[in-house]
A and B are shown apart, each in its own frame.
Chain A
Amino acid sequence: MAAPQSTLLDARAIERTLRRMADEIIELNEGTDDLVIVGIQRRGVQLAARIVSNIFDRETVKVHSGALDITLYRDDLQTVGPRPVVGPTVIPVDVEGKRVVIVDDVLYTGRTIRAALDELADFGRPKRIALAVLVDRGGRELPIQPDVVGKVVAVPNGYRVDVLVRELDERDAVVLAPSGAGS
């Protein structure tokens, strides 16, 4: 049952979008001083790395970057079945007083970001935390909004948004796929 799957962004469109997002992040933080880019496991980490490289192209500054796995902070751990796989968390700098930008692939209910904010707080007290997402698909269940957005997508019922990155999925794409199909 191969239901239709449509491409919302192809590799070149993702590249352009991430360049613009990098520019907006620099603008939002008035430069790169104290900037720390933190990607959420999994695909947020790869997107964060590309934003860091885009910032370097613009400003010739290598900003600090990290990775956050929020599994242990999920609010649904008591209800999900087998324990989800936990990925690495790497916060290479003291975030105290820094300007942290969380990067994720898709913003949906906001629960992942809630967990990420709790986890970051255990590493210190940043001066400011901002949120950058490649796709905002609406459907929030918590009062959380992004500061930098790649693309806003209206998702029909029964569909979901998948972000594919070449490091993990062999190609870069944002696709709209029927939910229930394997990613």
Chain B
Amino acid sequence: MTIGLGKDLLGLETLSREQIQLILDTAEPFKEISERAIKKVPTLRGATIVNLFFEASTRTRVSFEFAEKRLSADAVNVAASGSSVAKGETLVDTARNLEAMRIDMVVIRHGASGAARFLADRIDSTVINAGDGMHEHPTQGLLDMLTLRDRFKKLDGLKVCVCGDVLHSRVARSNIWGLTKMGAEVAVCGPRSLLPNAIAEMGVTVFDRIEAAIEWADALNVLRLQLERMQAGYIPSLREYNRVFGVTRERLERAPKEVLILHPGPMNRGVEIDSDVADGPFSVILDQVTNGVAVRMAVLYLLSGGKAELAEAAKGGA
């Protein structure tokens, strides 16, 4: 009956189906708060949250900040540039110094895979992973699932294809772990050079042709192709990538049914996705952004409060 999340949210790999369900269900009533004239509830009054961003981010950082403020928490943003991190302070020292100022939660974005876990093991505050290297981006996975559930009313049996640079993508991993736990069928599609070698071991189907993926899928989650991948030799050229793997209107129109289009942003229009798809009738890209605030409010709410009892509940529930 009592399912908790434990102390931290580090990834979807370590969550149970019931815990994911709890977060998605809790996000529903939080959507309404952002539609009110006064977009604020007093739930986290007195809680102090630090957003510790070691990598550039607009969407995720602003989304967390809105979620925190709409729950009445006090939020402080620390960016790596311009902070003591730039002077060579270690991650743990930075976090311990912040903790000495009596904080309750840290939301961390870091370029190294495992950074969130590393920090969570060393400080008492709740740690929320806002993206760690090529590992996980759990709140993105959750908001993708919430957006899919809004449209299809269920995740069980849904066919979702993650397209593009799966190899370097934390969004891909959180999607694959989360969606498969919720009973969806997951596939990936992209150049072999941008797919992990052991991808099939994650329980996904591999499509080499985007046309085949579109024909199979109910929804495509189109990943951003990081432009530096071309210099690193993963793909011959951006134009070539668009010609072979780009999600275009012509390709979608040839599909037997409508295919929902998700993208975690920021988009490279004309590379992995064409503008008339991104702005087209089957795109839910901006719904994802709206849902992001509700999902993060749900996560903050569920992780707040009596820590000991929560840990106990997580033990009983997971």
Contacts and interface: CB of A to CB of B under 8 A. Distances in A.
Contact of B29 (A79, A88, A122, A123): A88
Interface in A45-75: 69, 72-73
Contact of B310 (A73, A81, A86): A81
Interface string B16-60: 000000000110111011001110111100100000000000000
B314 to A, nearest CB: 9
A118 B38 CA distance: 12
B229 to A, nearest CB: 41
Contact of A88 (B2, B3, B32, B37): B32
Given A79-B306, A87-B29, A89-B32, A123 B313 contact: no
Contacts of B306: 78-81
Contacts of A88: 28-29, 32
Contacts of B305: 77-78, 80-83
Contacts of B30: 86
A148 B247 CA distance: 61
Contact of A86 (B3, B38, B46, B301): B301
B313 A81 contact: yes
Contacts of A28: none
A81 B26 CA distance: 16
Interface in B60-105: 71
B40 to A, nearest CB: 7
Contacts of B240: none
B304 interface: yes
B42 A72 contact: yes
Nearest to B307: A81
A139 interface: no
Contacts of A122: 36-38, 40-41
Contacts of A69: 29
Nearest to B71: A72
Most A CB atoms within 10 A — which of B40, B301, B312?
Answer: B301
A80 B310 CA distance: 10
Contacts of B41: 72-73, 119, 122
Nearest to A74: B43
Contact of A123 (B37, B46, B302, B310): B37
Which interface residue of A72, A73, A87 has the most chain B CB atoms within 10 A?
A72
B51 to A, nearest CB: 21
B304 to A, nearest CB: 7
Interface string B291-318: 0000000000110111001101100000
Contact of A83 (B36, B302, B312): B302
A72 B305 CA distance: 12
A81 B40 contact: no
Interface in A78-111: 78-83, 85-90
A31 interface: no
Listed residue (A85, A86, A118, A123) with the most chain B CB atoms within 10 angstroms of its CB: A86
A117 B275 CA distance: 47
B23 to A, nearest CB: 11
Contact of A73 (B25, B38, B42): B42
B264 interface: no
Contacts of B38: 122-123
A87 to B, nearest CB: 6
B4 interface: yes
Contacts of A89: 29, 32
Nearest to B43: A72
B40 A86 contact: no
A77 B309 CA distance: 12
Given A89-B29, A122-B36, A123-B36, A82 B3 contact: yes
A81 B29 contact: no
A77 B306 CA distance: 9
Contact of A85 (B26, B33, B71): B26
24 contacts: A72-B33, A72-B41, A72-B301, A73-B41, A73-B43, A80-B306, A81-B310, A81-B312, A81-B313, A82-B2, A82-B3, A82-B305, A82-B310, A82-B313, A83-B4, A83-B26, A83-B301, A83-B305, A85-B25, A85-B26, A87-B29, A122-B41, A123-B36, A123-B38
Interface of A: 69, 72-73, 77-83, 85-90, 118-119, 122-124
User: What are the 4 closest A-B residue pairs judged by CB atoms, nearest first?
Assistant: A81-B309, A82-B313, A72-B41, A72-B43
